[in-house]
Amino acid sequence: MDFRAFHPPLRTLMGPGPSDVPPRILEALGRPTIGHLDPAFIELMDDVKRLLQYLMQTENALTMPISAPGSAGMEACFVNLVEPGDKVIVCQNGVFGGRMKENVERCGGVAVMVQDPWGSAIDPQKLEDALLANPDAKVVAFVHAETSTGAQSDAATLAELARRHDCLTIVDTVTSLGGTPVRVDEWQLDAVYSGTQKCLSCVPGIAPVTFSERAQHRIKNRTHKVQSWFLDMNLIMGYWGQGAKRAYHHTAPVNAMYALHEACLMVHEEGLENAWARHRRNHVALRAGLEAMGIAFIVDEAHRLPQLNAVRIPDGVDDAAVRRRLLQEHHLEIGAGLGDLAGKVWRIGLMGYSSRIENITGCLGALDGVLADMGAPVAAGAALPAAEKVLAAA
C-alpha cells in the first residue's frame, strides 16, 4: 500500500461547526509540546481558566476545559449531577435535547420530556407545567442554542423557573458561547458546557464547562460514585485546581490547550460584547441577501441565532447536489438538516472567524450562482446587492 502525508483541501467552513480556524490559532497549535505538569503549562492552565470565566461571565471556581469534545462536556454535567432514580426534566426542541435524554437514562435517571416544535424556542409555560406536575424533579436540562435548528431559548427565564422549584440546571451553550450573550452568574445557571469549534474558532476536541457552588455541593454529596472515572469532577479538579501543586489525572492535550488559550485571548482582545455585535451585524447582512433571493428562515426573528442560520431549501431543489457543488466548485461547506429537518433546511454558520464580510459575500455569490444554474425558483442576482446595502450602512 502507498501511504503518504495528508494535506487537507482549503475550505471555507460555513456549516454548523467546525468553523474556520484563523492562522494565529493554527500557529499556536504548532508550538513546542511540553509536559502537562510542567510549571509553564500550569501557568497556561490558570490563564485558560480565567479566560473561560470571562467568556462564560462567571466567577465559578469549578471552571475548566474538558479534554474531549462538547459531547463529553454534556456527559460530564449529567454524570456528575444525575444519580440513579433522579427525575430530570428535559426540554427538547431539536436534536440535542434528545441527546440530553439519552444521558439522563444512561445515568439511571428518569427523563420527563417537555417538547416544543423544531425551530421554536422552549416554551417557559410548558416547563412550569412540568415542574408543577413533577415536584420531585431535581434537575432541569435545556439547550440554550439548538444547533440543529438555529433557535435560541430564554435561558434566564428557564433557569429562574427551575430555581423556583429547587432544581439545578444543566445548560448546553455549545453554539452560543462567544456568539451571543451567555451570562452564567447573572442567570444563575448551575452546570454549563460548551465546545471550542463554534464561535471560538478553535480546533475541535475541547469542552469548556463550569459548575456553580450549588452544583458543586450536589457533586460532593452524592450517594453513588460518578459513573465515569474520566469525567468525575471530584478527580479532575485535583488537576485543574488553583496553584502550582496539581494531582495527576490525565495527560491533557497540551497543544490543543495552546490553541484554546489563543482562541480565548482573541475574543478577550476583541471584547466579548464586540464579538456578539459582530455576529449580529453579519447575520443581518446574510439575512438580507438570502431573503432577497427568496430563501426563508425557519426560526422567527425573536429567537433566531445570528451565528447559525437555518433556512428552508427552495421547492424542487436537490439538497445534496447543491451542497456537493458548493464544496467541489467553491470549496464552501454549509450544513445539512438533522433529524426531522433532514432534506428540508440548510444550516449556514457565521461563527467566530467564519463570521467575516468576505465569507458572507462569497457564500451568497456561490449559492446564487449554483441555484440559478440549477433552475431553482430564486431571484437570481438579488442577493449580493441586498447584502452590500446592509454592509455599507453598518
**pLDDT exceeds 80 at position 172:** yes
Say whether 124 sits in a helix, a strand or coil.
helix
Q: How far apart are CA 370 and CA 391, in angstroms?
A: 23
Q: Is the pLDDT of residue 243 over 60?
A: no
Q: Compute the chain's Rg from CA coordinates.
A: 21
Tell me the average pLDDT across 273-300: 98
Convert the pLDDT of each residue in 191-213 to its tens digit: 999 999 999 999 999 999 999 99
Q: Which amino acid is at 258?
A: Y
**Cβ–Cβ under 8 Å, residues 188 and 212:** yes
Show the DSSP H helices in the chain as ranges: 23-29, 39-56, 70-81, 95-106, 124-133, 155-164, 184-187, 213-220, 233-240, 254-270, 272-293, 319-330, 357-373, 383-393
Gap between the Cα atoms of 254 and 159, Å rounded: 35
pLDDT, tens digit, 9 for 90 and up, residues 304-342: 999 999 999 999 999 999 999 999 999 999 999 999 899
Q: What is the DSSP letter of 167?
A: -
Q: What percent of the chain is helix, strand and coil (3-state, nearest 5)?
A: 45, 15, 40
Q: Could you read off the pLDDT of 44-84 as tens digits, one per residue?
A: 999 999 999 999 999 999 999 999 999 999 999 999 999 99
In degrees and rounded to multiples of 5, residue 185 shows phi and psi of -75, -45
Number of residues that this document lists for the chain:
394
Rounded distance between C-alpha atoms, residue 17 and residue 175, angstroms: 9
Nearest to 91 by CA among 70, 136, 121: 121
- pLDDT for 242 beyond 80: no
Average pLDDT over residues 372-394: 96
Cβ neighbours of 354 (radius 10 Å): 27
pLDDT at 240: 83
Domains and CATH numbers, the chain: 23-268 (3.40.640.10), 272-393 (3.90.1150.10)
Residues 6+ apart with CB under 8 A from 260: 48, 65, 196, 200, 202, 206
Rounded to whole angstroms, the Cα distance separating 197 from 93 reads 22
Angle at 52 between CA 48 and CA 57, to 5 degrees: 150
What average pLDDT does the segment 143-165 reach? 98
Q: Which residues of 269-297 are buried (b: 16+ CB within 10 A; e: fewer)?
A: eeebeebbebbebbbebbbbbbbbbbbeb
Q: What is the mean pLDDT of residues 383-389?
A: 98
* Among 165, 188, 190, 176, residue whose Cα is nearest residue 89: 165
